[in-house]
Structures are given as structure tokens and as C-alpha cells.
């Protein structure tokens, strides 16, 4: 024992872990409510509905929405991201509902804005919740058309900006959409509507519960590998971020979250730009399911996972835990 324990070399690193006050003083990162963006699901019907694969998450109808936001505002959550669940009759192959100035996101934006000024609203820009074929772009003969989709995404972003969204969040992964949306917004005078670009979005199995939440699962044929990224790649993520920044992205996003912390860290270290991450539905579902079984301590794992984002260099996390985490921090 004495042979390996070198008294002369031991610096006693445990000394700074012995008491709570020291641990607090030397903590390198801290979570605050400012780190959270809350994703909110909207539905056409009044009332609320549950998302079975996402325990605790609800979709809110027009009559319940403003009340549902109240706590987020009170807790000081800086932003919410709006995602629509449309009835099957509303979905078409041409996705025209996406640019209807009275669609769910536009209506929700106007009604929330009427009641609250202190929370930012982020409109999701992608076609999947409006597409009877379930894809993020226009599908023709089984192919996801790029430039035709970008045209629709621009119209979608414009109606959201007109309704009062502070940010548009293109989550579609079509080529060239950031620049096209920037031009569209600028030409219409929305110079200060921000673009939160989903730049490094991977073709992930962790999105399953979200597709239940927006009702896109049944319709979707095949996978999204021709537009979302291959989980094997990270150099490509840097190229995509660089490209989106050149096209006018104000902030970039990595998605999913926990399995992609290396990507977040590389992006932050390389570009030093506002870097967001999405702790996606499958990550949420895993923690909820394991803690419902008593296999994990819910609050401990929730906070640890959020801290991991922070440590990797994330500026803010889209997380279904936003309200629960903010309550705990309070
Ligand atoms: C697609 C979109 C997805 C999510 C948000 N917007 C993924 C997808 O269906 O490919 C996933 C979010 C989550 O899993 O929480 N526009």
C-alpha cells in the first residue's frame, strides 16, 4: 500500500469538496431560468389533450393557451417554442396550412402577445405538422423537394413574423433556407425578427414521442435521412453551422441534446456564437419512464442533464422540463 500511496505527491483534491459552501463557491457552471426555452404544443380543438409517450406534457387548445403560459411568464422563462398539432383534415400534400395567416402558430402568437409582452415567441418553421405525408418538406414521387419546400418555408416564416413571432426556428433541414428566409423577412421589413437555425439536426430515433405529439407519426413513410444529419458525422455539423451563419442565422441549434454534447462543444469553441440545444422528446421520455419505475431519481437526473448542456457550452436549452426545472431553482 505504501508503495503506491505517495504522500509527497498527494494534493488532497477532496478538500474543496468537503462542505457545501466551498462546493458552491467553486462550481464552474450554474443553471438559471434564463437557460430554458419551453416547447409548447398547440391543438385546434378547445381543451387540452395528453401526449401518452410524454407524461406531463399537454397540447393546449385556443381556450386554454393563455392560462397555460401564465406560469412560464411568472417563473421568468425567457422564451417558448410553438409546435402545432393539426387535425388530419387540415393536413395536405401541398402543406398550405403552413402559410395560412390564421394557422395555429399565428393565432397562438397573437393571443399570447395580447396578454403577455415579457416572453419571447418562437415559431417552428417546418412542414411536417401540416403535411399529410409527414415529411418536413414537399414530397413528390417519394422525393423530398428542396427548393420548392424552401419557397413554402419562406411564406410560413413570413406569416409567423407578421403574427408577431420574435423568432422563427427553421427545423426542416432543407438546403439554403436560412438565407431565403432572411431575405423574405428583410424585404417585408422584419429586420429584427431573429432566426434560430436548427443547423445540426440529426436523423434521430429520439424524436419518436414528438411525432406522437404533433400527430406526424402515422403519416410518415420512410425516414428523414435525406435531409437530417447522419449521427456518425461531426465535421459536417461545423460546415452546416458556418453556412447557416453566413446566410444570416442569429443563433444555431444542435438536436438532439445529451447524445450530441460533443457537437455543442465543438460549435461553441469554433464559432463562439449563441448555441442552443434541444433536449428532445425521447430524452424526456426516458427520464420520465425510468423515474416512474423508481429506477432513477427524477429531479436529480433532470437537473444533472440540464447542467451537462451548460457545461458543454450551451446558451439555452429547449426542454420539456423547463417549468419543472425553473420551479426547482426558485
Ligand atoms: C421536425 C421536428 C422534429 C422535432 C421538432 N421538429 C423532429 C422530427 O420529427 O424529425 C423533434 C422534437 C422532439 O423530439 O422533442 N420539424
**Residue 212 CB–ligand 1 contact under 6 Å:** no
**Residue 128 CB–ligand 1 contact under 6 Å:** yes
Whether pLDDT at 323 is above 80: yes
- Residues 322, 77 contacting (CB under 8 angstroms): yes
Ligand 1 centroid to Cα of residue 252, in Å, is 16
Whether pLDDT at 1 is above 70: no
Q: What is the mean pLDDT of the chain?
A: 96
- Residues 197, 67 contacting (CB under 8 angstroms): no
pLDDT of residue 5: 78
Nearest C-alpha neighbor of 215 from the set 285, 279, 156, 130: 130
Whether pLDDT at 107 is above 60: yes
Domain 30-329 CATH superfamily? Aldolase class I (3.20.20.70)
Q: Tens of pLDDT along 45-83? A: 999 999 999 999 999 999 999 999 999 999 999 999 999
Ligand 1 centroid to Cα of residue 96, in Å, is 20
Q: Tens of pLDDT along 232-246? A: 999 999 999 999 999
pLDDT of residue 9: 83
Q: Tens of pLDDT along 293-302? A: 999 999 999 9
**Residue 201 CB–ligand 1 contact under 6 Å:** no
**Backbone phi, psi, residue 281, to 5°:** -55, -40
pLDDT of residue 173: 98
Whether pLDDT at 214 is above 60: yes
Q: Is the pTM of this model over 0.85?
A: yes
**Residue 210 CB–ligand 1 contact under 6 Å:** yes
Question: How distant, in Å, are the alpha carbons of 151, 181, 316 from that of 320?
Answer: 30, 27, 13
**Residue nearest ligand 1's atom 14 by CA:** 207
To test the pocket of ligand 1, the residue of 135, 171, 228 to mutate (highest count of ligand atoms within 8 Å of its CB) is: 171
Averaged pLDDT for residues 147-167:
98
**Residue 207 CB–ligand 1 contact under 6 Å:** yes
Instruction: Return the domain boundaries, the chain.
Output: 30-329
Beta partners for residue 140, in sequence order: 143
Q: How confident is the model at residue 2 (pLDDT cuts 50, 70, 90)?
A: low
Ligand 1 centroid to Cα of residue 211, in Å, is 7
Distance CA 26, CA 16 (A): 8
Question: How distant, in Å, are the alpha carbons of 92, 146, 174, 310 from that of 230?
Answer: 28, 18, 15, 24
Helix-, strand-, coil-residue percentages of the chain, each rounded to 5: 45, 20, 35
Whether pLDDT at 285 is above 80: yes
pLDDT of residue 198: 98
143-145 vs 275-279, strand pairing mode: unpaired
- Residues 166, 112 contacting (CB under 8 angstroms): no
Annotated catalytic sites, by residue?
201, 255
Distance CA 111, CA 107 (A): 6
The 3-state DSSP class for residue 116 equals coil
Whether pLDDT at 139 is above 70: yes
Amino acid at each position: 500500500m505504501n508503495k503506491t500511496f505517495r504522500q509527497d505527491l498527494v494534493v488532497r483534491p477532496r478538500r474543496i469538496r468537503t462542505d457545501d459552501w466551498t462546493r458552491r463557491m467553486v462550481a464552474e457552471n450554474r443553471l438559471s431560468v434564463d437557460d430554458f426555452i419551453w416547447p409548447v404544443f398547440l391543438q385546434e380543438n378547445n381543451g387540452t389533450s395528453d401526449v401518452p409517450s410524454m407524461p406531463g406534457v399537454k397540447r393546449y387548445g385556443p381556450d386554454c393557451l393563455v392560462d397555460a403560459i401564465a406560469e412560464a411568464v411568472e417563473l421568468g422563462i425567457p422564451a417558448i417554442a410553438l409546435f402545432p398539432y393539426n387535425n388530419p383534415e387540415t393536413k395536405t400534400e401541398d402543406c398550405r396550412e403552413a402559410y395560412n395567416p390564421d394557422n395555429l402558430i399565428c393565432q397562438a402568437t397573437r393571443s399570447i402577445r395580447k396578454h403577455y409582452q415579457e416572453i419571447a415567441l418562437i415559431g417552428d418553421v417546418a412542414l411536417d405538422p401540416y403535411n399529410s405525408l409527414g415529411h418536413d418538406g414537399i414530397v413528390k414521387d417519394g422525393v423530398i423537394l428542396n427548393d420548392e419546400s424552401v419557397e413554402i418555408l419562406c411564406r410560413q416564416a413570413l406569416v409567423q413574423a407578421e403574427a408577431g413571432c420574435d423568432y422563427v426556428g427553421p427545423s426542416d433541414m432543407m438546403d439554403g433556407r436560412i438565407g431565403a428566409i432572411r431575405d423574405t423577412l428583410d424585404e417585408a421589413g422584419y429586420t429584427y425578427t431573429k432566426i434560430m437555425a436548427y443547423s445540426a439536426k440529426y436523423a434521430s430515433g429520439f424524436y419518436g414521442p414528438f411525432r406522437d405529439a404533433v400527430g406526424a407519426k402515422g403519416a410518415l413513410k420512410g425516414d428523414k435521412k435525406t435531409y437530417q444529419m447522419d449521427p456518425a458525422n461531426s465535421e459536417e455539423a461545423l460546415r452546416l453551422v458556418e453556412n447557416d451563419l453566413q446566410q444570416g442565422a442569429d443563433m444555431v441549434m444542435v438536436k438532439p441534446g445529451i447524445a450530441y454534447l460533443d457537437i455543442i462543444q465543438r460549435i461553441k469553441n469554433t464559432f463562439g456564437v449563441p448555441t442552443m440545444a434541444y433536449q428532445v422528446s425521447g430524452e424526456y421520455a426516458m427520464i420520465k419512464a425510468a423515474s416512474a419505475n423508481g429506477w432513477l431519481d427524477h429531479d436529480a437526473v433532470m437537473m444533472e442533464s440540464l447542467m451537462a448542456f451548460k457545461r458543454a457550452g450551451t446558451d439555452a436549452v429547449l426542454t420539456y422540463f423547463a417549468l419543472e426545472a425553473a420551479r426547482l431553482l426558485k
